[in-house]
Structure 1
């Protein structure tokens, strides 16, 4: 039976064997922090809270890393879904630049984790490219390049004349060490392995049915009637938040992904870097350690299209043709996996991290937008500090109620 927000055959849960099966909750327990959601966001939170010696428990209603985590392309980069000038309608340019730098900080955190605990998730540091094939968008690309350069971010400007790619490029912003890629399924399990050794408790097949809010604690009722008492509960359920809040966090779309069979060469794909085009909706492209190509994008409205298999097939075909047109020298491109799922974008392209305005013991860590994993890392860092009454000044960028009238 497919998960509510996942359709098709996600590559990362198909190619990986089950790393570990976790038990379900069979008794009443108490903890400092209860994390609802056992995807990559929950695992990241579990790591940062355990690292800070805060007792934490993860409650996952199905299987670890099989929800939204299974459909992320894990194409990690500091830039946002829209360019800086476009976002000025919803926030300030200073805030955009701050979020870029926070993204770079989160990338450094992943690098440090890998250095400390080993590379068990096919992690690779990557350069990135944001580009356009449209003449009328050249000015926009130049402006984005200047904004990042003036902010001290390591970027290069690419024009039609110095284009090292086979794709049709009129202008582009090349980010040096500006991204990374990994296997999200393996990364989630590595985080949990490390965190469980520091005291984290993980329960899967344990659905949260109800949360009762007291003055200084919460009581969580699970599907088998067992209770979890905690000082704080953090919702890290990705796009399934309806049980915990009526808040509308943003526009929900379906995003489509394909993964090819391994190819023999990457002729025309300079440095096998991470690529995003400037289209609306945009498309994004990465490679894998076993020489596959993953492409994603082509977003459409979620509620009218998530069950539309005919449309999905059309979108998969569009993505395949995009790869072939971009890289005509790669001759053996064939699709191996096709899958789609839910995606939410906020107005300023940032996720939601922090306290619910109605319940001080209800917190959120929702990595909406293209930078979900990086936002989750920032959430882990900021919320584990907040638990100890240390407030990170940048937490205000991710406030849950920042768009309330």
Structure 2
């Protein structure tokens, strides 16, 4: 694994019993769409294109579902990383609200997927809590609550007097059915199983080393000399975009996670809601299907090619202590996994979906920010429609060139 991208022992890969492997490319092939990147984003894209009868191939340089997907907490919430009032500094309020609404659209897509194909990825719908333990942030939470309420989101406000959690809470917003949790590794493989049943081809350990652009197609050259001829290329490589563009798409940080051994009670964690605090950077918490607790955050500035083990251990200790202090009534909290990796974000909290500014046959699905999986679902929907000649008006929010002056 790249030292700057993933370190430690990621939870979902290591507890999985799925040992499925995929072939590597050993011949030249042709397809309608070639997706570069075999993480959860590439798998989602493959599903939507295949579902729309578009011939699809995935190329993954390492193992399917590893790297960034392996360290994802898959804590899915419709809300963006920043409050609506803060986002007004960067985008129009109506666009920030639409970003939240699209999160709900993606959550509904995920729920419908589970209903249609079965729950093979430990999916669970959850309420979501945004809260503060600081008196001077109460007003900010109240403003956020009012903005959401006024714009039709199903939210309720809680404070010290109505707090049913075991941790200190001065003010909070509960979003009814505002999120979901999944196992991202299982979800990736479920998506690919379904995509392959519809004709998609998947290759791992097949690194792309060059793209040659023509008017109506692209040749994708792999490290062993075999090539894929595709009408469109979908970049689903997360923060690793150097081969495709010299554009600086996002700001990178390193984020840290710890996960416990299974616990026997959840006292003080009402309804096992998804939890996020109002700090910057924030902490986020969820539970798992096998009764573990996960806490993440403590982000630091990303430094390429350097892994600071001492710093990482300090961050893991902070997260462990915070978890234990928040949930003093949960018995025998014992850390089982510690891991960290690269996290990319944008000022408007939105990812990138759409066409490259230089190459018309090069498209992107880059799920940056805390909503990466939900943005990927939106990207799969929007770009499969675009391939068939239908442009989604909400793609403007995710334009590749939206930060250009």
C-alpha contact (below 8 Å) 2:3/2:307 kept by paired residues: no
* Other-structure match for 1:208: 208
* Shift, 1:139, TM fit: 0.7
Partner of 1:378: 378
Alpha-carbon displacement from aligned partner over 1:71-127 (angstroms, at most 9, x marks no partner): 000000001111011111110110011011100010000100100000001000000
What is the match of residue 156 of structure 2?
Answer: 156
2:141 is aligned to: 141
Q: For 1:137-286, what aligned pairs fall within 5 Å after superposition?
A: 137-286=137-286
The aligned residue for residue 101 of structure 1 is 101
Q: Is the 8 A contact 2:221 2:227 kept in 1?
A: yes
Distance in 2, matches of 1:46 and 1:368, equals 19
Cα distance in structure 2, aligned partners of 1:2 and 1:48: 29
Q: Distance in 1 between matches of 2:174 and 2:17?
A: 36
Q: Helix, strand or coil: the match of 1:401?
A: coil
User: Following TM superposition, by how much is the alpha carbon of 1:275 offset from its aligned partner in structure 2, in angstroms?
Assistant: 0.1
SS in structure 2 at match of 1:248? coil
TM-score (norm 2): 0.99
Find the counterpart in structure 1 of residue 73 from structure 2. Answer: 73
CA distance, structure 2, for counterparts of residue 181 and residue 2 of structure 1: 27
Q: Which runs of 5+ in 2 are unaligned?
A: none
Cα displacement (A) at 1:19: 4.0
RMSD across aligned positions (CA): 1.0
Mapping for residues 312-331 of structure 1, pairs under 5 Å: 312-331=312-331
Quote the residue 1:61 is aligned against: 61
Per the alignment, do residues 228 and 286 of structure 1 end up closer, same or farther by CA in structure 2, a change over 3 Å counting? same
CA contact (8 A) 2:4 2:305 kept: no
Give how far 1:331 is off. Answer: 3.1
State the TM-score, normalizing by the size of structure 1: 0.99
Task: Give 1:404 shift.
Answer: 0.8
Q: CA separation of 1:106/1:26 partners in 2, compared to 1, >3 Å: closer, same or farther?
A: same
The Cα of 1:398 is off from its aligned counterpart by 0.3
CA distance in 1, matches of 2:193, 2:158: 42
CA distance in structure 2 between the partners assigned to 1:277 and 1:249 by the alignment: 26
- Cα distance, 1:239 vs structure 2: 1.5
State how many pairs are aligned. Answer: 405
CA drift of 1:305 comes to 8.4
Looking at structure 1, the residues matched to 41 and 320 of structure 2 have their Cα atoms a distance apart, in angstroms, of 29
Contact 2:4 2:304 (C-alpha < 8 Å) held by counterparts: no
Q: Within 5 Å, give how 1:337-356 maps onto structure 2.
A: 337-356=337-356
1:125 corresponds to which residue? 125
* Structure 2 contact 34–234 (Cα < 8 Å) conserved: yes
2: CA distance, partners of 1:18 / 1:78: 29
For residue 64 of structure 2, give the secondary structure of its aligned residue in structure 1. coil
Q: Aligned equivalents of 2:213 and 2:250: distance in 1?
A: 26
Corresponding residue SS for 1:303: coil
